Structure 1
Amino acid sequence: MAGRPLGRSLAPYIRSSPTLTKLFTPVANWYASGSLYRQYGLLYDDLLIEERPEVQKALTRLTPREAYDRAFRIKRASQADVLHVPLPREQWTKPEEDVRYLSPHVTQVEAEMQEREKWDTLTVMRK
């Protein structure tokens, strides 16, 4: 399927091991802080590529409040980017606020699309 990442994710394996979790958590936090999206008040799911059909359909499943908040965060970050100045520190996204609000919808849409493809390509054999 187009737009899908190549290979598998190591995240479930790392989360299943307390030692690996303890080792990779500081690196993951450092990487998230270094990506600067939090300094512009964005959440991780605000960065998903909207042109993907799965994301387009998932966006229609957001509540009106979630859709409004997403649009506000993106507009505010765009304005800050145009001015070449990050937001004031009190407006930065805190790590505990960076929750996945769109990813569950995207996962559900992908599963539905895979199921639809399976049923659409089903062939009936006569005995």
Structure 2
Amino acid sequence: MSGPLGYSLASYVRSSRTLSNWLKPIAIWYADLSGYRKVGLRYDDLLVEERPDVQRALTRLTPREAYDRAFRFKRASQISVLHKELPKSEWIKPEEDIRYLKPHVLEVVKEDQERRVWDTVNVVRK
């Protein structure tokens, strides 16, 4: 979501140290409240896989990242079936909840934008 000048609210919040320090505890509380860490998932596991850019980004994961992702999904499914949570020692900690897929998604989006520019370039003969 971007504003009238092309700036997003998130980038504005990150640029303001005071606003960022004020909103960070709320963001951490909200992430804890959502419960995905209690079943062993990371934030990027929640991205919608049906999007073409996410599908292409998933093919760029290392074999270890792909295995870990599949393991987290299987474990979360099992936990969901049992209507339980993981033991607190196995919850994903906020410092472990790194964005492993976002860099690949951004790279795919950037390549798509570049491809669109090159596909619509007008060649003029002199």
Using structure 2 for the length normalisation, give the TM-score: 0.91
Aligned identity (percent) is 65
Using structure 1 for the length normalisation, give the TM-score: 0.90
The residue aligned with 2:99 is 100
Distance 1:117 1:17 in 2: 34
TM-aligned CA deviation for residue 123 of structure 1: 2.4
* Matched letter for residue 42 of structure 2: L
Structure 2 matches for 1:28-43, cutoff 5 A?
28-43=27-42
* Matched letter for residue 85 of structure 1: K
Q: Deviations over 1:55-98 (max 9, x none)?
A: 11111111100000000001100111111111111111000100
Unpaired runs of 5+ in structure 1?
Answer: 1-5
**Alignment root-mean-square deviation, CA:** 1.3
- Give SS of 2:75's match: helix
The residue aligned with 1:22 is 21
TM-aligned CA deviation for residue 126 of structure 1: 4.6
Structure 2 matches for 1:70-85, cutoff 5 A?
70-85=69-84
Distance 1:19 1:7 in 2: 21
* Matched letter for residue 48 of structure 2: I
* Matched letter for residue 110 of structure 1: V
Distance 1:49 1:7 in 2: 20
